[in-house]
Amino acid sequence: MAEIKVPELAESITEGTIAQWVKKVGDRVEKGEFIVELETDKVNAEIISEEAGILTQITAAEGDTVLVGQVIAIVEAGEGAAPAPAPQVTAAPAPAQEEPKAAPAAPAPVQVVEESSERVVASPAARKLAREKGIDLASISPVDPQGRVRVQDVAAHGIAPVATPAAPEAPKATVAVDESRVTVEKMSRRRQTIAKRLLEVRQSTAMLTTFNEIDMTNVMALRSRKKDQFFESTGSRLGFMSFFTKAVVAALKKYPYVNAQISGDEMHLNNFFDIGVAVSTEEGLVVPVVRDADRKNFSEIEDTIAGLAAKARDKKLGLNDLSGGSFTITNGGVFGSLMSTPIMNGTQAGILGMHTIQKRPVAVNGEVEIRPMMYVALSYDHRIIDGKDSVGFLKTVKELIENPEDLLLNS
């Protein structure tokens, strides 16, 4: 027999949510075969079976929260494991036919619970108790306003006088929601984590934002002239992100406190330049990291960003892809945002927000011209970054993007 446990993924991850079982009870599994997908705060992890055999028991259903080290399934090992489920399935109904008065209470509810477990959100302990008592989880009215069935709900379900008055209270939590007009969706674990961490940043930092605008004329002209040659020589597409990444690295070197973080009463000035690049996915925003961006050329930066974005869309990002960034760039301009105030990522002290390029009239050498302009924003932790440094940092980025040849010469 082999126990399938929730593995240790990282020091900061202590629990996860069962996202999907790809195998069901009675299925044969091979050693190393993927049997369940676990959703954590940072990534989705594929849990495998360490032994070949038959999946005989699943103790946590889809949607359940499980802890690291918790047993979530049992695999009976060996060749003899394959026929094992069959006798169990036929043995349970057999007594039901021979002893119709006593036996139906055991097998019948088990089958009902298996069917309803896909739509009822319940803790593993509650599911276990329900199976032992032969109670259909769908028939239980939970106290939790979000509808999660707990052990107390299962235990109270068997007491008729207590269960009856609880019934009218359950709908009260949903009376205000007109299902014909409102669609209720439970937040995914990742969305809950994003919400929690963004709120923590707002509450635990002295965040301030400064703005500037960049004339994109020169960088757009350079990109237009060089993109075909760049693609032929490197096989990479030349975008704006490599220019901004290079400009940010140069500005961080000039203003090191923007590349720092607070730890207790200490300021840690990072001597590395791991730049996080925000990527939008169906499940929310993720920020994979371009490692050692100061050592990469334009082609390597473009390839790294493209690879990370593809992994994000395919849900293949690993913990190493997401951890340890020193500064972040986010581009709301791809969605048409003209101006916004980005929120810092984790313990970092700054984040640069790019926005859409829009043609506007600007004064150039005393004349009004129509130029492609982009608003940029720097949100920063005012506890360690003064206004002078924040403005100087953003001004450096602006000057380098408006004179892109300087970036090419310094690469």
Fold of 2-173: OB fold (Dihydrolipoamide Acetyltransferase, E2P) (2.40.50)
Can 2-173 and 190-410 be said to share one CATH topology? no
At the top level of CATH, the class of 190-410 is alpha beta
pLDDT of 120 reads: 64
pLDDT of 178 reads: 76
pLDDT of 291 reads: 96
Task: Measure Cα distances from 184 to 144, 168, 259, 287 in Å.
Answer: 16, 21, 41, 27
Residue pair 45/35 in contact by the 8 Å Cβ criterion: no
pLDDT of 11 reads: 58
pLDDT digits (tens, 9 = 90+) for 267-277: 999 999 999 99
Give the length of the chain: 411
3-state secondary structure 128-162: HHHHHHCCCHHHCCCCCCCCCECHHHHHHHCCHHH
- Tokens 């032929």 belong to 232
Which residues of the chain fall below pLDDT 50? Answer: 80-118, 145, 160-175
pLDDT of 193 reads: 77
Distance CA 392, CA 252 (A): 10
Neighbour-count burial of 340, counting CB atoms closer than 10 A to its CB (0-12 exposed, 13-18 middle, 19+ buried):
middle
List 280's β-bridge partners, or say none. 285
Helices in 214-297 by DSSP H: which ranges?
A: 217-234, 240-254
- Tokens 């926005």 belong to 355
Tell me, yes or no, if the pTM score tops 0.75: no
Listed in order, strand segments (DSSP E) in 300-391 are 327-331, 350-354, 357-364, 367-381
Distance CA 177, CA 3 (A): 42
Report the DSSP pairing between strands 15-21 and 65-67.
antiparallel
Distance CA 251, CA 393 (A): 5
Max Cα separation, the chain?
A: 100
Active site amino acids: 382, 386
Judged by DSSP in three states, 172 sits in helix
pLDDT of 79 reads: 52
pLDDT of 131 reads: 74
pLDDT of 88 reads: 41
Return the domain boundaries, the chain.
Answer: 2-173, 190-410
